[in-house]
Amino acid sequence: MEYLGILLFFLIALGVGFFFTVANSLLGPRTKEKMEDYPYECGVPLYDQEARGTFKQGYYILGLLLILFDIEVALLFPWAVVFKEIGIYGLIEAVMFIAVLFLGFIYAWKKGALKWQM
């Protein structure tokens, strides 16, 4: 009886997946071209048959910055949970942590890592 919630969640997820699969096959776009000839089958014809492409280095840097700042901000949630127990020491540590995060953001901004057109 205690696993009923997990079983119910699994059955709902299975039903939703089955529903979207059937809906896609019935309502999805029809193409006259064979999609087996494309290196990546996504339903959209490719403009270029070459699967390899180059991206600017700035996109990789922007992705790394996004991951870095998301992980650092995620570390603030446990701090907020135990805020009353850690007292003034925890507040000082959190302010220092946010200051370092802010300095990193300013550095990335000054270096131009946050611009879309590089």
The verdict on 60 and 118 lying in the same domain is: yes
The verdict on 68 and 101 lying in the same domain is: yes
> How many domains, the chain?
2
The verdict on 72 and 118 lying in the same domain is: yes
Is the per-residue pLDDT at 62 higher than 60? yes
The rounded Cα 99 to chain-centroid distance in angstroms is: 25
Q: Per 3-state DSSP, what percentage of the chain is helix, strand, and coil (rounded to 5)? A: 70, 0, 30
Is the per-residue pLDDT at 3 higher than 80? yes
Structure confidence by residue, pLDDT tens digits, 90-103 = 889 889 988 988 89
pTM: 0.45
Burial of 63 (0-12, 13-18, 19+ CB in 10 A): exposed
Q: Within 13 Å and on the Cβ side, how many CA atoms surround 102?
A: 6
Range of the domain at 73: 54-118
The verdict on 61 and 118 lying in the same domain is: yes
Is the per-residue pLDDT at 19 higher than 90? yes
The verdict on 59 and 114 lying in the same domain is: yes
Is the per-residue pLDDT at 80 higher than 60? yes
